[in-house]
Amino acid sequence: MNRLTAFRSALLGAAALAVSACGINSVPTAEENAKAKWANVEADFQRRANLIPNLEQVVMSSAEEERQTLNEVIQARASATRPEIQLEGDDLNDPAKMQQFQQAQQNLGGALSRLLVSVERYPELRSQENFGRFMTQLEGTENRIAVSVKDYNEAVRQYNTTIRTFPDTIGANIIHGAEPMVPYEAVTEGAEAAPQLDMRSSAD
């Protein structure tokens, strides 16, 4: 009986180990995928921020009346690019830090949208080559942001599903101490999208 009991215990232990091993590779793989997708999100938001100085030059040369609105964009850009609100891989489990990052990016998007709406009053500015180039770059960047956010959220969904699903959840809890990641969610619908402007001059 002792040998049988020992055999059963060993068999159960081996089975438990085998089950838990299912999460040894799948959990970190899903985690690293989500972190890589997040790096793309941050890179695309930074790309948008890097476009602001170009807009600043164009607006200051042709629409000085919009200085206050432009200053709001500049201040929002400074806030959105502060090192302390940028998220490292380990911060993706922290809802408060994600909310702080989201809010800063959405503030910048909102300020930028208000400025671009104001620009509608300046057909001579909209007809400038530099402004047209900026709008083309901005549109491409906003599309990149939308795609990278979608890809990140999908990677988060897959990771969160993995750590909650048997048998991976065993390894996730026992071996990795895995915690759910936080998706990127816009507070305001369309907050990251620049308005579509009529690039034709009023002479048209």
Instruction: Identify whether 16 is part of a domain.
Output: no
| pLDDT attached to residue 18 | 47
Instruction: Identify whether 54 is part of a domain.
Output: yes
With 60 as the cut, is the pLDDT of residue 188 above it? no
Alpha-carbon gap, residue 153 to 69, rounded angstroms: 32
For residue range 47-93, what is the model confidence (pLDDT) as tens digits?
Answer: 999 999 989 888 887 777 788 889 999 999 999 999 999 999 889 99
- The per-residue pLDDT of the chain, averaged, comes to 81
pTM listed for this prediction: 0.79
Alpha-carbon gap, residue 162 to 170, rounded angstroms: 10
Instruction: Identify whether 67 is part of a domain.
Output: yes
For residue range 80-132, what is the model confidence (pLDDT) as tens digits?
Answer: 999 999 999 889 999 999 999 999 999 999 999 999 998 888 888 888 888 89
Instruction: Identify whether 94 is part of a domain.
Output: yes
Q: Which comes out higher in pLDDT, residue 24 or 138?
A: 138
Instruction: Identify whether 29 is part of a domain.
Output: no
Tokens of 128: 């400038």
| pLDDT attached to residue 20 | 46
Alpha-carbon gap, residue 109 to 90, rounded angstroms: 26
With 80 as the cut, is the pLDDT of residue 172 above it? no
76 is in which domain, residue-wise?
A: 41-145+180-204
150's CB contacts (< 8 A; 6+ apart) are none
Alpha-carbon gap, residue 37 to 33, rounded angstroms: 6
Tokens of 195: 């308005």
Instruction: Identify whether 58 is part of a domain.
Output: yes
Q: How many domains does the chain have?
A: 1
Instruction: Identify whether 112 is part of a domain.
Output: yes
Instruction: Identify whether 150 is part of a domain.
Output: no
Q: First vs last Cα of the chain: how many Å apart?
A: 96
